[in-house]
Amino acid sequence: MARDYRKSNDKRTALENAYSDLDIFFNRHPVTKDITTKTDAEAVKRSVRNIVLTNYFERVFKPSFGTNLSSALFELNTREVGSRVGKDIVESLQKLEPRINNIKIVASDQDLDSNRREITIYYNIINGLQKQQVNLTVNRVR
| 1-29 pLDDT, tens digit each | 445 444 455 544 444 556 777 877 788 88
Q: What is the mean pLDDT of residues 24-53?
A: 87
Contact 137, 118 (CB under 8 A): yes
Relative to beta strand 37-39, strand 20-22 is antiparallel
The arithmetic mean of pLDDT across residues 41-63, rounded, is: 91
Q: What is the domain count for the chain? A: 1
Whole-number average pLDDT of the chain: 80
> Which range marks the domain in which residue 85 is found?
41-139
Is 96 within the bounds of a domain? yes
Q: Whole-angstrom Cα distance, residue 111 to residue 117? A: 9
10 domain residue, yes or no: no
Cα separation, 64 vs 57, whole angstroms? 7
pLDDT surpasses 70 at 43: yes
Q: What is the CATH number of the domain that holds 50?
A: 3.10.450.40
Look at residue 9 in the predicted model and tell me its pLDDT.
Answer: 53
Please report whether residue 6 resides in a domain: no
131 close to 122: Cβ distance less than 8 angstroms: yes
pTM above 0.85, yes or no: no
Amino acid 113: pLDDT: 66
